[in-house]
Structure 1
Amino acid sequence: MTEPRTKRDPEGTRRRILEAATQQFSTYGLSGARVDAIATAADTNERMLYYYFQSKEGLYVAVLEAMYAEFARHEVSLDLAGLQPAAAIRTLALSIWDYFRANPRWLNLVNNENLHEGRYLERSPKLTEAISPVIDLLRATLARGAATGDFRADVDALDFYVTLAAMGYYLVSNRFTLRAFIGRDYTEASAIEGVTEMQVKMLIAYLQPASPGASPSDFMYP
């Protein structure tokens, strides 16, 4: 029953394999995920899995590529051009942080790949293609803010993006250990609202230009 349907719907089969693999890899990691379980969940067989992805590792890389590409599509779909620069940064930050909270499987995959020291991501040229549009979107927003005088002109877009993303990533990725360690549940709406407002204010404060007459030493610790 499986093979005739596979021949009629190759893209559907590939999509089902990716979805089943995403569930396996995000739950059990690369080493713990089982190829036979992926094939069963995808309603296909192991032969078709190897036909499309060559190996378990190849399937793992494809899952990472798909997850990063979906994240990038979500962010670049934002219409920031019509917003004031500070409002655009706030919108982008909230979008990224909300995406993390809504997609814990994505963070599980990232955490797992960090255990492998990123060596599987390094195999993929598609990852740079996925993140570049997001950085370009942020870079354009920062440039617009600098042009209006709302933002400093010396902000590195990539460093700022990493900082922005890290704020949301840490709270979601470490939500269980934070609850156990400090007793605050950052999955609760009230906790999310409070920390989000603080984080946005920190980001905007960093972007604001120095007041007239201020020198670089004014911002240095002794």
Structure 2
Amino acid sequence: MDRGTGPADKKRKTSWKKDPEAVKENILTIATEEFAAQGLAGANINEIAKRTATSKRMIYYYFGDKEGLYQHVLERVYSSLRNTEQALNVADLDPVPALRRLTEATFDSHVNNPQFIRLVMIENIHNAEYVKKSEIIPKLNKAIIDKLADVCERGKASGVLRQDADPLELHWMTSSASFYNVSNEATFSASFGNSLHTVEGQKRLRQRVVDMVLGAVVIGYQPNELHSN
């Protein structure tokens, strides 16, 4: 009997021909969930194939192997996060409101992308091996630094930011707090309760991160709970 010619297989084959981009997107969506939950070593191509609208053979056709699929998944989640930040138009804002908006956007994008957090944790276990291989991720990361650099330059020129304001340091400050807020939610809540992860708690933390970043570089900055609630 010739396997792979049943109704389900014929339907899948038709979908590949009709819309291959949709098929690849479906594979990446399911693979993102699998890699985020199981890690690179634990993820199983057979399980991913079962959940998609395609087959294991087509996964290999599009992405080469499991590591190739993981690489595409990683680039996709980085793109999603950075595109959210990049979409913000802060060039027309004064430096302080611009820095506030970028800080808020980074905090929000981390909260809204828990799979990104899990995949970055996994990638750190692998010593950033796949980030280093990527030609896309460094460009994505550079874009947010460039945006912060423009804000810093304008802020220094107008006298509202300290002369030692550094875009990379500001990104590190914002990302570290935003990342920890998501990555350590389970253990932090188990140890101290979940008051910081309620809607009100997250609103306050978001403002605290803004205060931390602006307080480090804005001359004469005074924390104000009414900012950007």
TM-score by length of structure 1 reads: 0.89
Where in structure 1 are there 5+ consecutive unaligned residues?
A: 211-222
Superimposed CA distance per residue, residues 33-71 of structure 1 (whole angstroms, 9 cap, x where no aligned partner)? 110121122210011000111010110010000111121
Instruction: Report deviation, 1:181.
Output: 1.6
SS of equivalent to 1:125: coil
How far apart in 1 are the matches of 2:169 and 2:103?
A: 14
Q: Does the 8 A contact of 1:171 with 1:186 survive in 2?
A: no
How far apart in 2 are the matches of 1:177 and 1:185?
A: 13
Instruction: Report deviation, 1:12.
Output: 1.1
TM-score by length of structure 2 reads: 0.87
How far apart in 2 are the matches of 1:132 and 1:60?
A: 22
1:164 maps to a residue whose letter is T
Instruction: Report deviation, 1:110.
Output: 0.7
- Listed as ranges, the matches of 1:118-137 within 5 Å are 118-137=128-147
Residue 45 (structure 2) pairs with residue 35 (structure 1): yes
How far apart in 2 are the matches of 1:143 and 1:150?
A: 10
Match of 2:214 among 190, 199, 204: 204
* Shift in CA distance, 80/107, structure 1 to aligned 2, threshold 3 Å: same
How far apart in 2 are the matches of 1:170 and 1:198?
A: 14
Q: Identify which range, 78-87 or 104-113, moves more after superposition.
A: 78-87
Residue 78 (structure 2) pairs with residue 84 (structure 1): no
How far apart in 1 are the matches of 2:204 and 2:80?
A: 28
Instruction: Report deviation, 1:73.
Output: 1.1
How far apart in 1 are the matches of 2:206 and 2:31?
A: 32
How far apart in 2 are the matches of 1:87 and 1:17?
A: 40
Superimposed CA distance per residue, residues 112-163 of structure 1 (whole angstroms, 9 cap, x where no aligned partner)? 1111121122111111111111111111111111111100222221122111
Query: Where in structure 1 do 4 or more consecutive aligned residues deviate above 4 Å?
Result: none
Structure 1 vs Structure 2 CA RMSD: 1.4
Partner of 2:199: 189
Aligned length: 210
Instruction: Report deviation, 1:209.
Output: 4.3
Superimposed CA distance per residue, residues 175-203 of structure 1 (whole angstroms, 9 cap, x where no aligned partner)? 11111122243321221122222221121
Superimposed CA distance per residue, residues 73-97 of structure 1 (whole angstroms, 9 cap, x where no aligned partner)? 1111101122221111111111111
Residue 148 (structure 2) pairs with residue 138 (structure 1): yes
Partner of 1:215: none
